[in-house]
Structure 1
């Protein structure tokens, strides 16, 4: 395994350090139990429909075609439309979902211990694409401000990863050369491509690597112990 020798390490937040997918699914299952209107509709139908619509809306948001308020409104409104439910319930459902979603935040397996070891040995930061207030709640709940030098939230920058503006801003904050920054993330499009285009080193956390990832990432791993070994941390 090749050794990485960065001077600064940025981490993605959702599905790299924290298990967003698990929390999202658990929150949606709680929503399914909460409302009687889902009688006759399975939780799997709700999850599949929501995920399909939400993915498309985040794409529109990332391209600047819609704002965050339209995304929040449409993700449940269109889910309910496709399921044949009352679209007017979207606002209440959105509020209920966010309350449940927050109850399920937790570290990914192996992430907490590894992150703490890395932050003891390197200057670290966070870069995340989520909405500012939600991501700040996560950062505070998991006490990440105590260990990070820089926190970059895409909404506050005005662009989403992989836009160069996000990585340029983070590079300036890090105060080191681009080639001395390592970015640890799970998304090929947002993290691997964005980091590589910024001339950063990238450690891609994934169980399903694609061929192009081997050309762009300095490390591909699915076990945080491998990341520690690459950084020469016991």
Structure 2
């Protein structure tokens, strides 16, 4: 059994993809004059297709945060041929609606509570500090039950960089008063192969890959199809 369980936030505890799609549906309605010639599903898929690689470029240091925010809207609107919709307006309206749809992922709150009754828990998330802090405020039990909550933007390195995991391990040793806490004593729960699985395993942590792929899971990573499977892995009835 682990001595500490650390959770990712977006698309693990918080339903980021659901919030993204709901926000884009709102924006599709708000700007029907510019976007209505596309189905909402196409708008959602186009946004996701451009957003993900830009976040990877940002994580690799190839673009800045300002570049990410600007290019995301510009590229999406170009792909949708919505040339008369101002990218800044699109971005502002999307982010406002996105925040209105932040919710716990299905089953996540009950599972998080159950794990926190048996193990110390922490949170480690990528993302911009202001937005991630706002998510914690919307879902207050995330921080209330956690020994610590770390946002990559506040440390200066992002998952999967092993330096971020080393930082969290050092923090946990102090917070838990466990100076001998080793990487292999930590179980990280997350959904992203690149950020969570490769990052955690690369740092020597154990990983529970939520909704993962058995064929791709490296040594040190267990695939858990749902929250019940995670509780079974941790022997929580």
TM-score bracket for this pair, using the shorter chain length: over 0.9
Distance 1:117 1:83, change over 3 A: same
> How far apart are 1:232 and its partner, in Å?
2.1
2:70 is the counterpart of 1:73: yes
CA distance in structure 2 between the aligned counterparts of 1:33 and 1:160, rounded to whole angstroms = 34
The correspondence for 2:189, drawn from 170, 176, 184, is: 184
CA distance in structure 2 between the aligned counterparts of 1:45 and 1:232, rounded to whole angstroms = 42
> How far apart are 1:10 and its partner, in Å?
0.4
Gaps of 5+ in 1: none
User: CA RMSD of the aligned region, Å?
Assistant: 1.4
Look up the SS of the partner of 2:27 in the other structure.
helix
Where do residues 44-63 of structure 1 align in structure 2 (5 Å cutoff)?
44-63=41-60
Task: Identify the residue that residue 233 of structure 1 maps to in structure 2.
Answer: 236
Where do residues 18-33 of structure 1 align in structure 2 (5 Å cutoff)?
18-33=14-29
Task: Identify the residue that residue 226 of structure 2 maps to in structure 1.
Answer: 223
Distance 1:220 1:39, change over 3 A: closer
Where do residues 166-177 of structure 1 align in structure 2 (5 Å cutoff)?
166-175=164-173, 176-177=181-182
> How far apart are 1:39 and its partner, in Å?
2.9
Decide whether the 8 Å contact of 1:182 with 1:201 is kept in 2: yes
TM-score if structure 2 supplies the norm length? 0.91
> How far apart are 1:193 and its partner, in Å?
1.1
Task: Identify the residue that residue 9 of structure 1 maps to in structure 2.
Answer: 5
Q: How many residues align?
A: 228
2:61 is the counterpart of 1:64: yes
TM-score if structure 1 supplies the norm length? 0.92
Decide whether the 8 Å contact of 2:214 with 2:223 is kept in 1: no
Decide whether the 8 Å contact of 1:77 with 1:87 is kept in 2: no
> How far apart are 1:166 and its partner, in Å?
1.0
Decide whether the 8 Å contact of 1:179 with 1:200 is kept in 2: yes
Look up the SS of the partner of 1:54 in the other structure.
helix
Task: Identify the residue that residue 122 of structure 2 maps to in structure 1.
Answer: 125
Moved over 3 A (4+): none
